[in-house]
């Protein structure tokens, strides 16, 4: 008999990292496995989007370096307030990819001071196990496999990346387009209900695919929501699609 995927309640028992616990608790409370990717370029758009989608998401994913007007007082303080108001976490999709010492500097210094505000960050594992030691006070989601056409994250790479993700105490999850071991939370971007791709290498699947085929835990949706005419309504549509697909996969 084929083993069933684990529920969020079951994952609470085996995913000990404090950020994993928070994400799972929010998912259960909000009946949502949706993460919105807020790939907008002004603080005003970022805050307006967070206000609209906040009630429906477990986390807001940022690429903070694409903002043209980043300011820690005007961008991060109100964003943090919205995260508290609507109970979601902040995921900075920085995809760190350097030696530990450089990542430590990129994480805590520079314009964005990511360590001051992000609940969790993404990191490549290309530089090896020790490179992840610097992310002490956050959670790390390791990039195990990418969604884009022609990615170099083949099966051998993913196997080695998964070993690092499983063994490093700062890592509680992985970004991938394949199954990962139950001890990790799986995050799947490249989700869109209307499009198959973007003409720039992105490849899309449906929430149903992500939950049934990949047994994912969280879907990440960018343009499917922030480019739509009604982001609030679209977020609700993806939230319901994600939760139904999760329930059907149990
Ligand atoms: F690691 C990855 C990946 O493999 N694919 C991705 O698309 C990350 N992403 C991110 O998810 C990407 O940087 C975007 O921020 C987001 C997808 O946005 P979309 O508008 O839904 O295509």
* Cα 188 to the center of its chain, rounded Å: 7
Active site residue 93: yes
| Segment 13-50, tens digit of pLDDT | 999 999 999 999 999 999 999 999 999 999 999 999 99
Is 73 one of the annotated active-site residues of the chain? no
Query: How far is ligand 1, taken at its centre, from the CA of residue 180, in Å?
Result: 18
- The residue from 93, 119, 217, 239 that is catalytic is 93
H/E stretch holding 85 reads helix 77-86
pLDDT digits (tens, 9 = 90+) for 181-223: 999 999 999 999 999 999 999 999 999 999 999 999 999 999 9
Measured between alpha carbons, how far is 19 from 122 in angstroms, rounded to an integer?
13
Global ipTM? 0.99
| Strand (E) or helix (H) holding 92 | strand 89-96
Q: In 10 A of CB 44, how many CB atoms?
A: 11
4 pLDDT band, cuts 50/70/90, is confident
Contact (CB, 8 A) for 214 and 176: yes
Task: Give the 3-state DSSP-derived string for 203-223, with helices as H, strands as E and coil as C.
Answer: ECECHHHHHHCCCCCEEEECH
* C-beta of 38 in contact with ligand 1 (< 6 A): no
Query: What pLDDT shows up at residue 2?
Result: 61
pLDDT at 5 exceeding the cut of 70: yes
Q: Is 92 in the pocket of ligand 1 (CB under 6 A)?
A: no
Q: Is the CB of 123 under 6 A from ligand 1?
A: no
Q: Please provide the DSSP assignment of 131-156 as one string.
A: GGTT-TTSEEEEE----STT-S--HH
Would residue 95 show up in a list of annotated catalytic residues for this protein? yes
CA distance 189 to 241: 15
39 close to ligand 1 (CB < 6 Angstrom)? yes
Query: First CA to last CA across the chain, in angstroms?
Result: 14
**In sequence order, which residues have a C-beta less than 8 Å from that of residue 200 and are 6 or more positions away?**
none
CA of 245 to the centre of ligand 1 (A): 20
| Ligand 1 midpoint to CA 107 (Å) | 20
Residue 59 has pLDDT above 90, yes or no: yes
């Amino acid at each position: 008999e084929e083993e069933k995927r684990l529920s969020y309640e079951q994952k609470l028992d085996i995913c000990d990292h404090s950020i994993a616990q928070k994400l799972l608790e929010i998912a259960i409370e909000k009946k949502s496995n949706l993460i919105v990717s807020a790939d907008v370029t002004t603080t005003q758009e970022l805050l307006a989007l967070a206000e609209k989608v906040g009630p429906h998401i477990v986390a807001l994913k940022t690429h903070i370096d694409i903002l043209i007007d980043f300011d820690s007082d005007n961008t991060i303080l109100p964003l943090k307030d919205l995260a508290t108001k609507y109970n979601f976490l902040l995921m900075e999709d920085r995809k760190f990819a350097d030696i530990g010492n450089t990542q430590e500097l990129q994480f805590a210094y520079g314009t964005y001071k990511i360590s001051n505000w992000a609940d969790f960050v993404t990191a490549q594992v290309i530089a090896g196990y020790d490179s992840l030691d610097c992310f002490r006070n956050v959670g790390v989601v390791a990039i195990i496999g990418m969604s884009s056409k022609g990615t170099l994250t083949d099966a051998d790479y993913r196997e080695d990346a998964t070993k690092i993700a499983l063994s490093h105490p700062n890592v509680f999850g992985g970004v991938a387009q394949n199954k990962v071991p139950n001890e990790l939370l799986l995050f799947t971007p490249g989700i869109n209900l209307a499009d198959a791709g973007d003409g720039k290498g992105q490849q899309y699947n449906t929430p149903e695919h992500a939950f049934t085929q990949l047994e994912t835990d969280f879907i990440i949706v960018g343009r499917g929501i922030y480019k739509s005419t009604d982001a609030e309504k679209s977020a609700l549509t993806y939230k319901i699609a994600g939760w139904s697909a999760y329930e059907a996969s149990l």
